């Protein structure tokens, strides 16, 4: 798959020594929840990167602050393929305080957007290398800290799912009320249609 990689990033990656990094956006719904101590806690889009201090990165046309995770964020299953097969990646965040586990469990995460970026620390430009939707979350809870693994499916997975739509007037009306496109489907469904010239 071809990508438009910024010239500054290409130059940085061609140097003898480089400091590559990943950045991830998890587009959770903005809302206020309560932590285990009863204190209000605002959640929303979560932005993380694999550096050691917070960093402002321009993504989707706007500057956003990404929280540093150092070596606590790992990414698995990242493959580059030339076909249209649907792939998935696994994001694992370790060393999490057990007090925020309940918040993670309450968060409606399924089918929320996730984007993964790649960059080099000496330049500001990044390139998006993966986009998909959050699918499943697994938690490993230990006595002092825990880890959360999030499975993210490629957007191409939608090509493998059944839409659940029916080509009937009733189904069409439920989505587009007043549109008569399928109004004669039941009438003509058993009719034979002859194509081409009429035989002599």
pLDDT in tens, 80-103: 766 666 678 999 988 776 655 666
Q: Across 70-74, 118-122, 134-138, which has the greatest mean pLDDT?
A: 118-122
Neighbours of 66 (CB within 10 A): 22
What is the rounded CA–CA span in Å between residue 132 and residue 148?
18
**Residue 53 lies inside a defined structural domain of this protein:** yes
Range with lowest mean pLDDT among 9-18, 29-38, 69-78: 29-38
Question: Which parts of 16-144 are beta strand (E)?
Answer: 20-26, 31-34, 40-43, 46-49, 55-59, 62-68, 73-76, 88-97, 113-120, 126-141
Establish if 187 belongs to a structural domain. no
Average pLDDT of the chain to the nearest whole number? 83
Helix (H) or strand (E) holding 98: none
CA–CA gap between residue 21 and residue 149 (Å, rounded): 19
Q: Is residue 89 part of a domain?
A: yes
Cα angle vertex 113, ends 44, 108, to 5°? 55
Q: Which helix (H) or strand (E) holds 72?
A: none
When divided into structural domains, the chain yields a total of: 1
Classify residue 167: in a domain, yes or no.
no
Structural domain of 141: 7-160
Report which DSSP code applies to 138: E
């Amino acid at each position: 798959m071809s990508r438009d990689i910024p010239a500054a990033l290409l130059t940085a990656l061609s140097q003898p020594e480089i400091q590559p990094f990943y950045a991830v956006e998890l587009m959770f719904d903005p809302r206020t929840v309560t932590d285990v101590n009863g204190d209000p806690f605002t959640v929303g889009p979560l932005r993380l990167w694999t550096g050691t201090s917070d960093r402002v990165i321009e993504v989707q046309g706007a500057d956003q602050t990404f929280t540093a995770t150092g070596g606590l964020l790992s990414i698995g299953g990242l493959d580059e393929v030339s076909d249209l097969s649907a792939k998935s990646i696994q994001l694992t965040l370790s060393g999490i305080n057990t007090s925020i586990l309940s918040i993670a469990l309450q968060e409606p995460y399924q089918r929320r957007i996730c984007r993964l970026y790649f960059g080099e620390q000496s330049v500001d430009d990044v390139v998006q290398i993966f986009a998909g939707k959050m699918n499943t979350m697994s938690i490993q809870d230990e006595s002092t800290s825990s880890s959360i693994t999030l499975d993210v499916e490629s957007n191409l997975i939608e090509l493998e799912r059944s839409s659940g739509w029916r080509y009937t007037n009733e189904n069409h009306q439920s989505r587009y009320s007043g549109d008569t496109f399928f109004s004669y489907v039941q009438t003509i469904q058993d009719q034979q249609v002859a194509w081409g010239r009429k035989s002599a």
